[in-house]
């Protein structure tokens, strides 16, 4: 059996102090404990659902030429895309890795602290998924927009990459590395909207609730990343690092397939010109649009792994 076939977690120190500290606060500080707070907020029809700065094609003249109602509907679509992407990240990229770590407790490969705090993190992720579902449906009902995008750039890129790896131990390392990087970088993704005070109050509250949970439990994924990375062979380390870099390079790319699906679902003549422009420029848009250079969550992961951050910045 290859030395990689199990990640021999047993031998490592899980930085119990960090994990215990996160776990100690969970029962009082996690947002799921106060879950009624967001659903009690009412939907404000006059408030925009999203911000123009995060529409990947808002620099096009064709966007500027749209009627206000069309722009507002596309802002609503923007929220649905942003939150549907969150649903897919939570369910496709993060939760499977949580399950993997939790189950490895049955083989005594992780200690009780890590198993418990992973189960707490997974509860948080379930709640974030619930918030995304509730707020997307609030848009569909209140705006009468029947939009259901399901192709998202990061999730597709990572699933393709993981399934292209030629052995199960590599796929396992890549799944865990993907979750560790995603969990640290997602705070940077949420920060994009967390300051957007003009948007739908219910949505702003949901984004801030999600961001708070991620800051609270992000460190445990850094600890997990460090413990696993330093236990791997040279080949394993390479898979881990390649995976983290792939996540980092694709995290903030525009979800153009989701946008084109939304345009098809809206099926409006008035949007044809803009749709055509997006389709013609799709490759460049996909390559060029990165919504932020905010990397504080990612930097935290690099610090924990003792990786050289300046090399990442010079990539």
Q: Which residue is nearest to Fe ion (CB)?
A: 128
User: CA nearest 110: which of 184, 11, 26?
Assistant: 11
Which stretch in 25-33, 45-53, 119-127, 167-175 sits in contact with Fe ion by CB under 5 A?
Answer: 119-127
- Rounded to a whole number of angstroms, the minimum distance from the CB of residue 299 to Fe ion is 17
First-to-last alpha carbon distance for the chain, in angstroms, is 36
Which stretch in 117-125, 142-150, 245-253, 280-288 sits in contact with Fe ion by CB under 5 A?
Answer: 117-125
Q: Give the separation between CA 80 and CA 21, rounded to whole angstroms.
A: 35
- Rounded to a whole number of angstroms, the minimum distance from the CB of residue 67 to Fe ion is 36
Element (H, E) at 208: helix 201-229
Per DSSP, the three-state class of 283 is helix
Count of residues touching Fe ion (by CB under 5 A): 4
Q: Build a one-symbol-per-residue string for 140-179: x at contacts with Fe ion by CB under 5 A, - elsewhere.
A: ----------------------------------------
Cβ contacts of 76 within 8 Å, gap of 6 or more: 49, 50, 139, 143, 145, 147
Residues 178-207 contacting Fe ion, CB under 5 A: 183
Q: Give the separation between CA 266 and CA 258, rounded to whole angstroms.
A: 12
Q: Give the separation between CA 11 and CA 195, rounded to whole angstroms.
A: 43
Our CB check for Fe ion shows the closer of 128 and 143 to be: 128
Q: Build a one-symbol-per-residue string for 5-44: x at contacts with Fe ion by CB under 5 A, - elsewhere.
A: ----------------------------------------
- Rounded to a whole number of angstroms, the minimum distance from the CB of residue 259 to Fe ion is 23
- Rounded to a whole number of angstroms, the minimum distance from the CB of residue 182 to Fe ion is 8
Which stretch in 122-130, 143-151, 249-257, 279-287 sits in contact with Fe ion by CB under 5 A?
Answer: 122-130
Q: According to CB under 5 A, which one of 49, 78, 114, 128 is a site residue for Fe ion?
A: 128
Buried b (16+ CB within 10 A) or exposed e, 85-115: bbbbbbebbbbebbeebbebbeeebbbebbb
Q: Give the separation between CA 27 and CA 82, rounded to whole angstroms.
A: 28
DSSP states of 13-79: ---HHHHHHHHHHHHHHSGGGGTHHHHTSPP-TTS-SS-GGGSTTTTSHHHHTS-HHHHHHHHHHHH
- Rounded to a whole number of angstroms, the minimum distance from the CB of residue 6 to Fe ion is 25
Q: Build a one-symbol-per-residue string for 213-232: x at contacts with Fe ion by CB under 5 A, - elsewhere.
A: -x------------------
Which stretch in 14-22, 32-40, 56-64, 128-136 sits in contact with Fe ion by CB under 5 A?
Answer: 128-136
- Rounded to a whole number of angstroms, the minimum distance from the CB of residue 234 to Fe ion is 30
- The residues binding Fe ion (CB under 5 A) are 125, 128, 183, 214
């Amino acid at each position: 059996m290859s030395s990689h076939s199990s990640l021999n977690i047993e031998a490592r120190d899980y930085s119990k102090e960090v994990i215990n500290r996160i776990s100690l606060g969970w029962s009082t500080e996690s947002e799921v404990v106060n879950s009624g707070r967001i659903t009690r907020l009412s939907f404000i029809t006059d408030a925009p659902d999203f911000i123009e700065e995060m529409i990947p094609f808002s620099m096009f003249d064709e966007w500027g030429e749209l009627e206000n109602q069309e722009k507002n509907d596309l802002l609503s679509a923007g929220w649905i895309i942003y939150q549907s992407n969150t649903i897919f990240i939570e369910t496709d990229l993060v939760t499977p890795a949580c399950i993997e770590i939790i189950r490895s407790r049955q083989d005594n490969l992780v200690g009780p602290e890590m198993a418990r705090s992973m189960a707490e993190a997974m509860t948080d992720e379930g709640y974030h998924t619930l918030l995304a579902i509730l707020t997307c449906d609030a848009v569909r009902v209140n705006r009468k927009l029947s939009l259901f995008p399901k192709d998202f750039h990061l999730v597709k890129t990572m699933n393709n990459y993981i399934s292209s790896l030629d052995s199960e131990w590599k796929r396992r390392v890549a799944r865990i590395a993907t979750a560790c990087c995603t969990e640290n970088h997602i705070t940077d993704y949420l920060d994009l909207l967390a300051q957007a005070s003009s948007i739908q109050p219910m949505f702003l509250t949901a984004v801030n609730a999600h961001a708070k949970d991620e800051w609270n439990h992000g460190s445990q994924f850094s600890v997990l990343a460090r413990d696993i990375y330093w236990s791997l062979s040279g080949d394993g380390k390479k898979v881990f690092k390649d995976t983290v870099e792939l996540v980092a390079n694709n995290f903030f790319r525009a979800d153009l397939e989701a946008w084109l699906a939304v345009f098809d679902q809206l099926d409006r003549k008035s949007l044809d010109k803009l749709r055509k422009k997006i389709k013609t420029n799709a490759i460049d848009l996909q390559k060029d649009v990165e919504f932020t250079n905010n990397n504080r969550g990612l930097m935290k992961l690099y610090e924990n792994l003792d990786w050289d951050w300046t090399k990442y910045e010079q990539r």
